[in-house]
Amino acid sequence: MDIRSYIQRHSVPSYFVLAFLLAWGGSFAAIGPKFIRGEALQFTDALLAFLPMLIGPSFGGIVMTYLVDGKSGLRNLFSRMRLWRVDACWYSAILIFPVLILAVQLALVFLLSTDFAPYFFPEGILIGLLAGFIEEIGWTGFALPKMKLKHNALTVGILLGLLHSLWHLPADYFTASVARGVYWMPHFAMFLISMTAMRVLVVWVYSNTQSLLLAQLMHASSTGFLSILVPLSLSPKNDTIFYGVYAVVLWVAVVLVVVRYGRNMATVNK
């Protein structure tokens, strides 16, 4: 059996190996040595780590699509990125994340501290658009449809969400572990739980629309509004509290979706 045949038979694990190698390897090459030497990491270092993290899932998704499905697969992939004619109600799902983020912030302001008050970080718009439109080429464009061949949508959402969250680990560890101190691991745990719920909601929308464009907008909304609204000045403790409460609220939304749509999370089989 040649390498291409092996990849075609094991397309999902092959994709994740490639995506993680590109992202983690590139991130380590960019800032790993500096981190190991104990040198302070600057904004430019975080940017250098961010770029290979984006390239990993997207480039991996394009390469794997070509290897597994050929040119017709690439045409299908890019056609789903242009699929905007879906029921208008599904576009309202983009608002789930900013509404819930604001609700959590206002509740925490009322219950704990004004430190949680929303603020406006305009650069977050670009961060959200880059993350959503580039990453989803791989996560939703390639991995999700292949995973749904063997699992229901809820299971795919959870598995993909866990893997997507773990994919963040090197950049998050390199750039934030020192600043967060003892809260680093609790914070990452809350991040993982909340982002897995986010992924389930993205899978829900995609399962009902087949629109990769809408999945990209959902991801952009999640990442973008977290960057735009949640203050960078939050202490490690308060940042962990925010993500913990946000995780609970997101999973309540997931439960409501599953109760309404079932484990396949779709009005019809798609």
Domain ranges of the chain: 3-261
> CA 195, CA 197: separation in Å to the nearest integer?
5
> CA 161, CA 218: separation in Å to the nearest integer?
14
Angle (CA) 204-87-226 rounded to 5° is 50
For every one of its 270 residues, what pLDDT tens digit does the chain have, with 9 covering 90 and above?
Answer: 588 888 999 999 999 999 999 999 988 887 777 777 766 666 677 777 788 888 999 999 999 999 999 999 999 999 999 999 999 999 999 999 999 999 999 999 999 999 999 999 999 999 999 999 999 999 999 999 999 999 999 999 999 999 999 998 876 766 666 677 888 899 999 999 999 999 999 999 999 999 999 999 999 999 999 999 999 899 999 999 999 999 999 999 999 999 999 999 998 644
Alpha carbon distances (Å) from 194 to 211, 245, 249: 23, 9, 9
> CA 205, CA 157: separation in Å to the nearest integer?
11
> CA 131, CA 51: separation in Å to the nearest integer?
10
